[in-house]
Amino acid sequence: MAGTSVKVRKEKSQELRDVVKAVRKALMLDAEVLCEHWREIGEMKACLLAFEKYYFRNGSYASLSMMFVEVDGVQTVDCIGSGGGEGLLNLSWGANRNFAKMGYEELLKLGFEDDKEELEKLSLVDPVE
């Protein structure tokens, strides 16, 4: 299975619930929302938001998992597009990359930027272009 991952961050400028709500609203036009799970531990807030989308070009579903975290006034989001593979070779024809890019672009609209420090730590990361 192929996957694409990207991490973004920004200083808190709006409530995390509003960020999640905006991303969910934008992406639910093209994809089905599978879950939205919230956790709060002390000062940390986190939300796992997952989507699924059918891609006609390869006849299979791809998923997008987004982990939103807010700690000490900094908001980070991990976007992971996965699945979408089909056939013996499990070719995704870029479905997972396309799905991750959709989430990434919505976050950029909300003021997030690439978290280059985190991306450099992860050797298996394939950043969205």
Amino acid, single-letter form, for residue 121: K
Distances (CA, A) of 98 to 8, 10, 36, 83: 17, 23, 21, 11
Q: Which residues pair with 107 in a beta bridge?
A: none
Render pLDDT for 97-119 as a digit per residue (tens, 0 to 9): 777 888 888 999 999 988 766 55
Per-residue pLDDT reduced to its tens digit, 25-83 = 998 878 889 999 999 999 999 999 999 988 776 667 788 999 999 999 999 998 888 76
All domains in the chain, ordered by first residue = 3-119 (3.30.530)
In terms of phi and psi (left: phi > 0; alpha: psi -120 to 50; beta: otherwise), the region of 16 is: alpha
